[in-house]
Structure 1
Amino acid sequence: MVNHVWGLMSRPGPELQRIQREHETVQHVYSHHVLLMAAIPVLCSFIGTTQIGWNFGDGDNVRISMLTSASIAVVFYLLILCAVAVMGRIIHWMARRYDSRPTLSSCIVFAGYVATPMFLSGIVALYPLVWLCLFVGIIGLCYSGYLLYLGIPNFLNIDHREGFLFSSSTLAMGVLVLEILLALTVIMWGYGSQLF
Structure 2
Amino acid sequence: MTAHFVKLFTHPNFAWTEIREEEEHHPRHYLGHLLLLSLIPAVCLFIGTTLVGWGLAENETVKLSQASALQLSGLLYLTILAGVVIMGLFIRWMSRTFDARPTANQCIGFVAYTATPFFVAGVTGLYPERWLAVTLLGLASIYSTFLLYTGLPTFMRVRKEEGLLFSTCTWGVGLLVLVTMLVLMILIWFNVLTPEYMRPPVTS
TM-score normalised to structure 1 length: 0.90
Structure 1 residue 36 and structure 2 residue 36: aligned? Answer: yes
In 1, the alpha carbon distance for the partners of 2:167 and 2:9 equals 19
Over the matched positions of the two proteins, sequence identity in percent amounts to 37
In 2, the alpha carbon distance for the partners of 1:61 and 1:45 equals 16
Task: Give the 3-state SS of the residue equivalent to 1:62 in structure 2.
Answer: strand
Instruction: Name the amino acid aligned to 2:80.
Output: I
In 1, the alpha carbon distance for the partners of 2:188 and 2:56 equals 16
Instruction: Name the amino acid aligned to 1:25.
Output: P
Instruction: Name the amino acid aligned to 1:76.
Output: L
- Higher Rg: 2
Corresponding residue for 2:45? 45
Matches within 5 A, 1:77-156: 77-156=77-156
- Compute the displacement of 1:8 (Å): 0.5
The answer (yes or no) to whether the contact 1:88–1:108 under 8 Å persists in 2 is: yes
CA distances 1:55-114 after superposition (whole Å, capped 9, x unpaired) = 358553321110011011111111111111111101111101223311111111111111
Moved over 4 A (4+): 56-59, 185-194
Sort the Cα spacing of 1:128 and 1:110 in 2 relative to 1 into closer, same or farther, 3 A: same
The answer (yes or no) to whether the contact 2:87–2:111 under 8 Å persists in 1 is: yes
Unaligned runs of 5+ in 1: none
Structure 1 residue 25 and structure 2 residue 18: aligned? Answer: no
In 1, the alpha carbon distance for the partners of 2:138 and 2:167 equals 17
Sort the Cα spacing of 1:55 and 1:131 in 2 relative to 1 into closer, same or farther, 3 A: farther
CA distances 1:30-76 after superposition (whole Å, capped 9, x unpaired) = 1x111100000000011001111133585533211100110111111
- Compute the displacement of 1:134 (Å): 2.1
- Compute the displacement of 1:183 (Å): 2.7
In 1, the alpha carbon distance for the partners of 2:183 and 2:140 equals 17
Task: Give the 3-state SS of the residue equivalent to 1:36 in structure 2.
Answer: helix
In 1, the alpha carbon distance for the partners of 2:10 and 2:59 equals 37
The answer (yes or no) to whether the contact 1:91–1:170 under 8 Å persists in 2 is: yes
The answer (yes or no) to whether the contact 2:99–2:158 under 8 Å persists in 1 is: no
Task: Give the 3-state SS of the residue equivalent to 1:63 in structure 2.
Answer: strand
RMSD: 2.0
Query: Which structure has greater helix proportion?
Result: 1
In 2, the alpha carbon distance for the partners of 1:34 and 1:76 equals 14
The answer (yes or no) to whether the contact 1:45–1:126 under 8 Å persists in 2 is: yes
Unaligned runs of 5+ in 2: 198-204
